Amino acid sequence: MTMKRVLIGLVLSAMGFSLSRSQSPFSREIDGMILKGMDYTFLCRFDSALTVFETLERLLPDEIVGPFYRAATLQSRMMDYETDLWGQEFTFQIDKAIRIGEEKLKQAVPGAWDLFYLGNAYSYKGLHLAKSGSLLAGIVNARRGVAFLKKALSSDSTLYDALIGVGGYEYWSSRFYRYLSWLPWISNDGEHGIRMVKKGIEKGTFSYCVGLCNLGWIEYDRKNYDSALVLFDKGLQHYPGSRFFLWGYADCLYKLNRFDESIVWYERLLDSIRKGDVNNGYNEAECSMKLALSHYELKNYDSALQYSDAILALAPDAKIAKRMVKQKQTAQAIRKKCSRAMKGENR
């Protein structure tokens, strides 16, 4: 599984929040704005989400939520499009959110929600640093974020959505424990992390889909593809067409050798990718590769050749081309296999 798939669950986890009327520090109108912006993000309507959160920041200039959700949307957008185009703007917004959050902690006894948002802001910064290649700095910031999330839970045990962020961190840190065991704060208790995520899904009110996405990729990583498929399907029932769930759903069908079905879903995904605001070729190549492989497994050699040729025809910029080596090599290999198979059938 690519690092992108690992990070999708963690990024959307950080967007999660509970808006139980007994908990929310904001008015019903503000809560509604946050929910609307999150809906837009899941549906990959990022410009609409940013518009909502820019308005939120104007209404609450002294609160962390405006810049935090703007940063969250930008990070989700960069992961969806496989680009770092908005990296500078993300850094500006997340650092602004952290400054506001740290200042609030200096001025008063921190409430659970202040700790929650500050923890998520540090987690976001950590994820961005790790994805950008600064692994150790990323881990340090993510660890700081998780510490704040745990404090939020200690302050208010009913803030169940924080469990999704903490549980996700515990699972993925245990996943890479063998590489990072020399770090004293890396745990190896992935099962505990999974239980926390499940409880967050069960108890949380408005972060249900956030938890579904996170747990879906965890189950995928554990090779529990049937379980992951169910989770991604539930996500698609809430957000039809969401690429965050489409990738997982199609990939699970592929892993289960249900190639007839995987083709249908990869084609839907490919159409969505091509219609997106940004298409640098990487996602198109990845999706076309899975379509070529699925058709090859079904002995649909003409279709397998069609998608392989589409990959080879892509001419991305040099940076993307370096990341697209696997897809190009796979396309060339499929072409050779199809050629041999078709010659054998024609004898």
Q: Which of 33, 121, 35 is nearest to 74 (CA)?
A: 121
Q: How confident is the model at residue 177 (pLDDT cuts 50, 70, 90)?
A: low
Please report the pLDDT score of residue 192 as a whole number: 87
Please report the pLDDT score of residue 10 as a whole number: 52
| CA distances, 310 to each of 178, 188, 265 (Å) | 39, 43, 18
This prediction's pTM: 0.89
HSE-up (13 A, CA, CB side) for residue 125: 24
Please report the pLDDT score of residue 4 as a whole number: 52
Contact 204, 18 (CB under 8 A): yes
Radius of gyration of the chain measured on its C-alpha atoms: 21
Share of the chain above pLDDT 70, in %: 87
Residue-range domain boundaries for the chain: 3-224, 280-346
Give the Cα separation of 315 and 328 in Å (integer).
Answer: 11
Please report the pLDDT score of residue 1 as a whole number: 44
Q: Which residues contact 124 (CB under 8 A, 6 or more apart)?
A: 11, 14, 68, 71, 72, 75, 94, 145
| Angle at the Cα of 283 from the Cα atoms of 277 and 288, rounded to 5 degrees | 120
Contact 124, 11 (CB under 8 A): yes
Q: How confident is the model at residue 180 (pLDDT cuts 50, 70, 90)?
A: low
Which amino acid appears at position 318 of this protein? A
For 3-224, the fitting CATH number among 1.25.40, 1.10.10, 1.10.1740, 1.10.20 is: 1.25.40
- Whether residue 152 is predicted with pLDDT greater than 70 in this model: the reply is yes
Residue-wise pLDDT tens digits, 256-299: 999 999 999 999 999 999 999 999 999 999 999 999 999 999 99
DSSP state of 206: S
Give the Cα separation of 202 and 253 in Å (integer).
Answer: 26
Dihedral of the alpha carbons of 243, 249, 255, 259, in degrees to the nearest 10: -100
Which amino acid appears at position 293 of this protein? L
Q: Which of 183, 75, 173 is nearest to 121 (CA)?
A: 75
Give the Cα separation of 245 and 216 in Å (integer).
Answer: 9
Please report the pLDDT score of residue 226 as a whole number: 98
Residue-wise pLDDT tens digits, 87-146: 999 999 999 999 999 999 988 788 888 999 999 999 999 989 988 888 889 888 988 999
